Chains A and B, each alone.
Chain A
Amino acid sequence: MKESEEKARSLLTLKQVILQVWLCCASLWRFWVSHAVPLDCKDETGSLTHCTSISQEKLLDRVIQHAELIYRVSEESCTLFEEMFVPYPLHTLRNQAGNVCHSKPFPIPGSKSEIQQISDTWLLHSVLILVQSWMEPLLYLQTTLDRYDDAPDALLNKTKWVSDKLLSLEQGVVVLIRKMLNEGILTSSSAIEQTLAPYDGQSPEVLESVLRDYNLLTCFKKDAHKMETFLKLLKCRQSNKLSCLSH
């Protein structure tokens, strides 16, 4: 996890930068000209100051790293939970959880060909939707896991970490959207309605709830992989449009 910690630290700075940039952009979005021009930021006093910003490529790289990390941590959390709580024969349920994951407001293409055909805008928005759709369930998962009697600390820590990083990822994607697509988007995590069943007071150790949580984790893992793939595709497009599109 050392490299993850290092990356976490780098992403913290990213988070701060994104916040600052977002503030600047949110307030001065109409002065946005091009990608390469550093944004004019407005500090607390309201005067225009020169922001410390990063280039779009670097930002994208960092976002991709973020997504990779989230995916890896989600996979580890899923494995931990599986080993700890899920009875051995039910491990295969992870592979058939496709229909159980909560649905998205709009269908996200699944095949590579489709994904290649969609535009950058679509990609970024898909990522954003994915990120935003998982914020609430992860919080729910955190509370659920806390109720387990012998949940390992690593699992709890990972889940918490993922929730935090998801926030950062969201902010980064928003900035990317602003930068790349010249759009202003208000971040609102409540826009996605949750389809999760409310906490029904059952004991968390019952197989039902265990399986539900397991399903949640596997779904999140899948979506994290999706996010990562989308962002990487985007990066390829940004760097070399020809080869990426014509595969």
Chain B
Amino acid sequence: MLRALSAWETAIYRSSRQDSNICRQRARASDIRVIPENPPTRSSLFPKRCSDLIADNFSEAEETAEAMAYSLSLSLLYLGLLCGNGPVSARGSKLFTPDPSRGPHFTGCRSREQETFRCWWSAGTFQNLTEPGALRVFYQTKNALSSEWKECPDYTHTVENECYFNKTFTHIWTSYCIQLRSVPQNITYDEACFTVENIVHPDPPIGLNWTLLNVSRSGLHFDILVRWAPPPSADVQMGWMSLVYQVQYRVRNTSQWEMLDLESGTQQSIYGLHTDKEYEVRVRCKMSAFDNFGEFSDSIIVHVAQIPSKESTFPMTLVLIFGVIGVVILLILLIFSQQQRLMVIFLPPIPAPKIKGIDPELLKNGKLDQLNSLLSSQDMYKPDFYHEDPWVEFIQLDLDDPPEKNEGSDTQHLLGLSRSGSSRVLNFKSDDDSGRASCYDPETPDPEDLASLLPGHSGQGEQHPLVSRSSSSFPELGVQQTSEVVETPIQAQPAVPSWVNMDFYAQVSDFTPAGGVVLSPGQLNSSPEKKKEEENEKKKIQFQLLSDGAYTSENTARQLSADVPPGPGPEQGYQSFPTQAVEGNLWNGEYLVSASDSQTPYLLPEAPPVPILPPVSDYTVVQEVDAQHSLLLNPPSSQPTVCSHSPNKHLPAMPTMPMGYLTPDLLGNLTP
């Protein structure tokens, strides 16, 4: 160690003027790696300028005494190597770009096969030294035997500034120090020390080729086996050099090389390459357990075309098709097996009409008393329901002026439409006279004026389900009635706005001779006319009362006509739907009564004032249906007739709207 230090020391003092060379000398202490091509293996942590450091140290060195020389030399050595090794510690595999900014210096030494080596130098900025012979190389082998400086054994003639050490002069495992001198001036410009095995950069391997190992099933990837031969210059067979290889590959024309692990054999597999991509593969080698890689071999191109594998896609499509078909079949089977349930889910059955709170069974089988009590407590009528098509429910029978009714008008058409659509229309067919007289309440409105007659039965054939089938007596009337009734509402249409604000229900107080119904003024702003002349004709008409006061028989109509002023009981108002009798005025405006076009009695607001009637319920409860298919309302105490129905008398007892709408099937149960 001491000898080395003293060598440094002398070198420092001798070349005190050449700061950069001192740095270079320190750099030469390594195995002549000049310009780092690759980043240094160990980070260069000392970016300071070498000259600055040396200058500092020089000033420091000059001031200290000799006793401190030893330690100083150490520190100088340290600094010198510090600044010198920055750029040089890198193990560059590329050589020798001479540094033009410096003086004469070595640019590198290399051995290819650990048997010979060469050194190169450059004159640098000293252009006057470029001629051959101006600069000379001296070397010294630092073994025990000799320590004198010998000159380069062979200056290569073909290459400029190269010194070649052949086999005889190359000693492995011995360190060499070389100096670049200018003999005439006796100046050493550069010095470097190294051992031969540390400057070995093997030649690139040869014979690089590849074979396909396999292709993946998808046809997208493949594996290859790459083979090569060791460089012929390296005596691997004899065991003089043990080489390890490194394979690199990349996709062609990309910049990133993939590096594989070091391989001591001469073949390597590369896995996972993509078909249809061109790859470049190259290999280089180095001595095992050393750091200096040699040059790369020439790249080879690896390419495997992608086979458009129809076979792989064909089964896939088949599988897809069959899968879809299977799924569809499954679905169909499922649907058919679970049809009932699916039907319930997707097409829920329309619930049967149900009266809230009332058991349908009771309606079917129960007594009328029970029904009465039940229905009386129910509020089942909805006024809105009536508001939809008020005209539908109330049709006046007009027997006098059939031809007039044939005139087309807007209202007629309207009614015609609504007539056909409504099923709730209650046709009332007049019964024969046989049973009418006893059953009719004089105060009940003229049945034919009852607006509940719907135009729905344009033909006599169509009968309302609630109407009994005693059509034998009615046919001639029915048609006329319907026509009349149809007409009246039509004619009454213009007058609608006049009393559209009025209540729906009105009590028919009287009948006009023309067939018009005079409504009671109590619930109605307009007072219908009464036509007493009609009464006789209307005897033939017997109205089936569906609900309280829904229909009035001829008798009642007669009675009504006889008793003009007093407003009929609230039950006179025809109603097909039960509503709150308290509101009793619901139907008031609904009647379409007109014997003729000019006679729209109850529709006209300018009807003669009718004495105000006491507000009474318009409706009564149908108790039963007698043999003559007439609805029996609550038997009035004053009525001795079989058809004991006196709606107006019973109405006070039942102020509320008693009953709901009877469905056809319910009516069927009711009829005996």
A interface residue numbers (CB < 8 A to B): 64, 68, 71-72, 75, 87-100, 103, 107, 110-113, 207-208, 211-212, 215, 222-223, 225-226, 228-229, 231-233, 235-236, 243-244, 247
Contacts and interface: CB of A to CB of B under 8 A. Distances in A.
B195 A98 contact: yes
B535 interface: no
Given A88-B82, A100-B4, A236 B238 contact: yes
B318 interface: no
A88 to B, nearest CB: 6
Contacts of A247: 235, 238, 240
B289 A72 contact: yes
B117 to A, nearest CB: 11
B195 A95 contact: yes
B302 to A, nearest CB: 30
B411 interface: no
B639 to A, nearest CB: 120
A96 B194 contact: yes
B171 A95 contact: no
A2 B359 CA distance: 92
A97 B175 contact: yes
A199 to B, nearest CB: 16
B31 interface: yes
Interface stretch (B137-145, B363-371, B379-387, B515-523): B137-145
A244 B239 CA distance: 9
B171 A111 contact: yes
B30 A95 contact: yes
A134 B325 CA distance: 83
24 contacts: A64-B239, A72-B289, A88-B82, A89-B85, A90-B81, A92-B81, A92-B85, A95-B175, A98-B141, A98-B174, A99-B143, A111-B168, A112-B172, A113-B168, A207-B74, A208-B1, A215-B1, A222-B195, A225-B289, A233-B239, A236-B238, A244-B237, A247-B235, A247-B240
Given A88-B82, A90-B78, A113-B168, 13 more contacts: A72-B289, A91-B42, A91-B89, A95-B31, A96-B175, A96-B194, A98-B143, A99-B3, A111-B169, A112-B114, A225-B197, A229-B172, A232-B240
B interface, size bucket: 35 or more
Among B1, B170, B242, the one with the most A-chain Cβ atoms within 10 Å of its Cβ is: B1
A236 B29 contact: no
Contacts of B197: 222, 225
A115 to B, nearest CB: 8
Contacts of B85: 88-89, 91-92
B177 interface: yes
A20 B484 CA distance: 140
B46 interface: yes
Contacts of B77: 90
Nearest to B241: A229
B126 interface: no
B567 interface: no
A103 B167 contact: no
Contacts of B670: none
B198 interface: yes
Interface string B83-116: 0110001000000000000000000000000110
Contacts of B143: 98-99, 107, 110
Given A98-B143, A222-B195, A89 B84 contact: yes
Contacts of A107: 143-145
A102 to B, nearest CB: 10
Chain A interface SS verdict (over half) = helix
Given A89-B46, A99-B3, A112 B167 contact: yes
B344 interface: no
Given A98-B143, A215-B1, A229-B240, A92 B89 contact: yes
B173 interface: yes
Contacts of A94: 198
A208 B1 CA distance: 8
A232 B145 contact: no
Contacts of A226: 172-173
Interface of B: 1, 3-4, 26, 29-31, 42, 45-46, 74, 77-82, 84-85, 89, 114-115, 141-145, 147, 167-177, 193-195, 197-198, 235, 237-240, 242, 288-289
Among A68, A93, A233, the one with the most B-chain Cβ atoms within 10 Å of its Cβ is: A93
A96 B177 contact: yes
A225 B242 CA distance: 10
Contact of A99 (B30, B79, B173, B175): B175
Among A71, A88, A107, A244, the one with the most B-chain Cβ atoms within 10 Å of its Cβ is: A88
B173 to A, nearest CB: 5
Nearest to B195: A95
A88 B195 contact: no
Contacts of A89: 26, 46, 78-82, 84-85
Contacts of A211: 1
Contacts of B144: 99, 103, 107
Contacts of B74: 207
Contacts of B177: 96
A94 B89 CA distance: 12
Given A110-B174, A111-B167, A92 B237 contact: no
B194 A112 contact: no
Given A107-B145, A207-B74, A112 B115 contact: yes
A228 B46 CA distance: 37
A71 B239 contact: no
Contacts of A113: 115, 167-168
Nearest to B82: A89
A232 B238 contact: yes
B4 A71 contact: no
A68 B173 contact: no
A223 B176 CA distance: 16
Nearest to A228: B242
Contacts of A225: 173, 197, 289
A88 B40 CA distance: 12
Contacts of B145: 107
